[in-house]
């Protein structure tokens, strides 16, 4: 085995040494591995998203060993993108890390300067103010356009609504948002009756957007809410299927009414 490879097999003893080790490995892979050599910023986009979600999944599962691994994968993505950029003289991992460090110092004046923030709300308010200064105080509509389109739709809708709310474009409380939800429901049902697919799609989008508004004003994370409901559906469906199998039946041969009865059993079982 080459001496270079042997050197890279040794763990770094400090964060800096470990980062250098990973960076050197990525550089080597970009030179010698056919797959790594072929990658671009665009081809790695999906990997970046998937690795971030896998890290979040590890957090939800409270699996620290898996979280350690998944965070490494996230850092690898940052290292890969930085190496690809450095090959075209755009930037390198050193600049990425230093720029992020500078940003953290600028946006935490309550730590690095005389400014004193007494509460978390004040810290966040100052953070947003500093971002505005950095970006030459953009218009609110510009802020809305900068919310990444690659975010999950519910999260993006929530963030867009939050930014609009900061300039007063918001309901006084959840009551107005709930009334709007009922209005959007009626509009969707009207298009459903007409069976106009495109208009149904538009009205369903309005309905979902209004639900996010209700959730935001009630301080409920809409992404977490739908995720919890999906998990609940899976649990109950699992009960239905396993119970059917224990009775010598297959779901495909059962009527919807029979499956609904088992579904009600699953709901009762959960409540107990």
Q: What pLDDT does residue 263 have?
A: 95
Mean pLDDT, residues 192-208 taken together? 96
Residues 81, 93: contact at Cβ < 8 Å?
no
* Residue-level pLDDT at 137: 72
Look at residue 73 in the predicted model and tell me its pLDDT. Answer: 96
- Stretch 235-251: mean pLDDT: 95
Greatest Cα pair distance in the chain: 73
Residue 222 near residue 211, CB atoms below 8 Å? yes
- Per residue in 162-180, pLDDT tens? 999 988 989 999 999 999 9
Hey, how many other C-beta atoms are within 10 angstroms of the C-beta on 262?
21
Q: Are 244 and 251 a contacting pair, CB within 8 Å?
A: yes
Distance in angstroms between the alpha carbons of the first and the last residue of the chain: 62
Distance CA 231, CA 49 (A): 21
Q: Confidence class of residue 4 from pLDDT cuts 50, 70 and 90? A: confident
Cα dihedral 185/189/190/195 (nearest 10): 140
CA atoms of 153 and 159, how far apart (whole Å): 10
* pLDDT band, residue 247 (cuts 50/70/90): very high
Q: Does position 1 have pLDDT exceeding 60, yes or no?
A: no
Per-residue pLDDT reduced to its tens digit, 117-157: 667 766 666 666 667 777 767 788 888 988 888 888 999 99
Q: Are 109 and 115 in contact (CB under 8 A)?
A: yes
């Amino acid at each position: 085995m080459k001496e270079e490879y042997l050197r890279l097999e040794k763990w770094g003893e400090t964060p800096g040494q470990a980062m250098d080790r990973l960076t050197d490995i990525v550089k080597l892979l970009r030179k010698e591995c056919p797959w790594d050599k072929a990658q671009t910023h665009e081809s790695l986009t999906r990997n970046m998203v998937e690795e971030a979600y896998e890290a979040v999944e590890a957090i939800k599962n409270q699996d620290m060993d898996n979280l350690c691994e998944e965070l490494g994968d996230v850092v690898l993505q940052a290292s890969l993108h930085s190496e690809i950029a450095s090959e075209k003289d755009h930037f390198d991992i050193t600049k990425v890390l230093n720029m992020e460090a500078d940003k953290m110092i600028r946006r935490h004046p309550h730590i690095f300067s005389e400014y004193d923030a007494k509460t978390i709300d004040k810290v966040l308010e100052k953070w947003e103010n500093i971002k505005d200064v950095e970006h030459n105080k953009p218009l609110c509509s510009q802020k809305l356009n900068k919310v990444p389109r690659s975010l999950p739709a519910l999260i993006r809708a929530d963030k867009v609504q939050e930014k609009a709310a900061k300039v007063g474009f918001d309901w006084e409380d959840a009551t107005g948002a709930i009334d709007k939800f009922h209005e959007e429901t009626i509009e969707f049902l009207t298009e459903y009756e007409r069976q106009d697919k495109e208009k149904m799609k538009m009205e369903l989008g309005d309905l979902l957007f209004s639900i996010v508004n209700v959730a935001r004003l009630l301080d409920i994370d809409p992404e977490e809410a739908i995720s919890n409901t999906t998990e609940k559906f899976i649990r109950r469906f699992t009960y239905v299927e396993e119970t059917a199998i224990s009775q010598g039946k297959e779901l495909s041969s059962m009527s919807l009414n029979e499956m609904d009865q088992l579904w009600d059993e699953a709901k009762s079982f959960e409540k107990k």
